[in-house]
Each structure stands twice: as structure tokens, then as C-alpha cells.
Amino acid sequence: MRTHPRYRRAATMVLVAVLLPALFALSALAINIAHMESASTDIQIAADAAVRAASREYVLTGDEQSSLAAARDLAARNPIGNFVLPVNSGDLEFGISDRASANTPYTFTPSGAGNAVRLTTRTLASPGEGIDPVFPFFGSAFQIGPTKSAVSTQGVIDIALVIDRSGSMAYSASEVAEYPPAPASAPPGWDFGDPVPQNARWLDLIASTQVFINELNDSPVQEFLSLTIYDHESYTPVQLSTDYDAVKTKLINISSSYEAGGTNIGGGMYQGRSALLNTTYSRSHASKVIVLMTDGVHNYGTHPMSAAYSVANSGITLFAITFSDEADQYLMQDVADRCGGQHYHAVTATQLQEAFRSIARSLPTMLTK
């Protein structure tokens, strides 16, 4: 006997009624899985941002509580929907991160102090701290709280100081560097070849270099430092090393007999690049940075923008400082932009010191995990 259509429809409806909850459950599970994957990625992004902020603050202050506050602030500014990644003191570790060569990964070792911070989302994995799923699992208290880890490292850095020793550096920052006349602070009868006058930009530079060296001495990692001098020519009297005093000594020695000279900025940049790439002194695993200072306008030798392409193509970051209103700020801004760094302008000795201090404190940090 054939089943009446009315009974077949009734059987189908019963089957649909039985399967519909299962269909809803499977759909909810699929949506929750997609939500979990998305949330996991967003948690890693938030953790990366938070640990970079913590590392930067730790390098600047050495204070763990300030680092924690910085991490929380960045987490709050990178919410996951309406959810903010919780960061507590137990989530942060402070230690040393280093690598044996440029081709090997960084390894983090907790030590209580050092050049790196590791954030592990332990608080997020605690009950009641995670992200709620889109659909609850049959009334359970399940939450999304994956354990993620991120390490931010103040990298090992080789630094080339590239310093302008042109004749204009014998004048003060507040006067026009045009010879003759002699600098206003020069004694009667002064001429180039004599000791640098007491208010010279050169002496402001030496004081600012000491500020820079002090910051390196306070750094949790050991930077190598070289010194390149340029006027119409350029040379590197101090190769990369940790002997920072040799840099200051050379600058002071120049003060005793200060000669006239042009401004070959591009030549200085090439010399600084060579110092950083000199395998006898440089470290293959270290990041490379040039700190370039000038008080004037390029007027001799290779154009700085040509040198900038060579510096950038070598993977070197360049920070440029212009000192006095006579300096070509626009050109140095372009040079710094091309080389992935920043430009600072100073018109007073105090501002020059702040420029060097700011650069020392903003040397590259990187996510190493």
C-alpha cells in the first residue's frame, strides 16, 4: 500500500524537528570555532603591541611597574571588540634576549633585568578572564583564553657617529658662520689652527656627545660605537668598539687646533657606512645605525641623497641632526626619511643635547618572538 502524502509530510516534519537542534548546534560550533581563530589572532596582535610598549618603557626607565602600566595602556588601545586583554604583573618577565649570529633566532632568558621583556597571557587563561564565545556550549562556562607569548628585545646595535668638523663649527649657534670675521667669542688675533673658541658649536657638540655616551653606558645591552669626522674630506679615527672614551678624546684633541674646512656630508655618510660594514670590527648579528650631525649646507663631494640610497640599501638606519638655522633641514629630513630614521633640529646647545639623548633612547627595538 502506498503511504498517503499527508502521513509522509508528517514524518518529514518530525525528522526536521529532530534534526533542527543538531543543525543549530553544528552551526553554533562552526561559528564559535571561527570566532576562536579570529580571537586568537587578535590576542596575539594585542600581546605584541603591549610587550613592545613595556619593553620601550623598561629601556627608558628600568622600572617594572612603569613597564606594566605601558603594557596595559597599549592593550586598552588595541581592544578585541569590546574586550581588553588583561595584563598583570605575573604576565611580564624581564631578562636577556640574544642570538649567536644574524641567521639564528633570539633566545630569551629570564634574569630580572636586561634588554628584553616577555609577555605571556597567563591572566587571560585564568577562569573568568577570557573572551565569551558567540554561542554558549549548552550553558557551560567555556571562554576563549589561549596562552600567547611575545618577546620584545632592545637589539644589539653598532653605531657610527658621523660628525661635521667644518669651519662653521668654530662659531656659536647664534651667529652667522662667515669668515672673516672670526667667531665672536674668539680672542684677539685668533685664526683657524688655534684652539676652538669657547662658545663654538664644536664644544656644544662635545657636550652633546657625552650625553649620548652616558645613555649608551646606561643601556642594558652593549653597543659598539665608531667615530667618523668630515669636512671637505672624511675619515674614521675611531673604529667600532666599546671604548666610548676614545670618541670623546678624539673630539677634544681636535679642539686644541681647529682647522677650517668645507662640508662633505655625503662623504661622511659613506665613511660611516664603511665603518659599520667593516667585518674586522662590526658584529654580523647587530643592527646598524648612523647618527649624522651637521651645522651647515653640503658644499663639497658626493651629494647626501646619493649616499642615502647606498646607506639604505645596506640595511642601515640613519638619524640626522641639524644644528643652527644655517643647516639644510629639508635635505637632512629627506636623507633620514630615505634611510628609515628621524630628523632632529636644534638651535641651542640644550636642544642639541636633547636630540642626542632622544636618539639614544629610541634606538631600535624589535619583536623577537
- Same domain membership, residue 340 and residue 302: yes
Given the C-alpha cell 498517503, which residue does it identify? Answer: 4
- Same domain membership, residue 334 and residue 286: yes
Identify the H or E element spanning 333.
helix 329-338
- Same domain membership, residue 176 and residue 298: yes
- Same domain membership, residue 287 and residue 147: no
Given the C-alpha cell 598583570, which residue does it identify? Answer: 88
Count other C-beta atoms under 10 Å from residue 264's C-beta. Answer: 24
For residue 38, list its beta bridge partners: none
All three cell numbers of 9, joined, read 509530510
All three cell numbers of 1, joined, read 500500500
Report d(CA 137, CA 338) in Å as an integer. 54
Which of 154, 178, 213 is at the close of a domain? 154
First to last CA, the chain: 72
Report d(CA 183, CA 342) in Å as an integer. 31
Instruction: Give the distance from CA 57 to its chain's centroid.
Output: 12
pLDDT for 282 equals 92
pLDDT for 10 equals 63
Written in H, E and C, the secondary structure of 258-279 is CCCCCCCHHHHHHHHHHHHHCC
Its pTM stands at 0.69
- Same domain membership, residue 130 and residue 267: no
- Same domain membership, residue 179 and residue 83: no
Given the C-alpha cell 499527508, which residue does it identify? Answer: 6
Which of 154, 184, 208 is at the close of a domain? 154
All three cell numbers of 95, joined, read 631578562
Which residues, given as ranges, of the chain have pLDDT below 50? 1
Which of 154, 188, 223 is at the close of a domain? 154
- Same domain membership, residue 66 and residue 215: no
- Same domain membership, residue 61 and residue 163: no
Report d(CA 45, CA 296) in Å as an integer. 44
All three cell numbers of 166, joined, read 667644518
For residue 191, list its beta bridge partners: none
Could you tell me the CATH number of the domain that includes residue 219? 3.40.50.410
- Same domain membership, residue 170 and residue 109: no
- Same domain membership, residue 118 and residue 80: yes
- Same domain membership, residue 163 and residue 58: no
- Same domain membership, residue 162 and residue 148: no
Q: What is the total count of domains within the chain?
A: 2
pLDDT for 349 equals 94
Domain boundaries, position 73: 5-154
At residue 334's C-alpha, the angle toward residues 359 and 49, to 5°, is 50
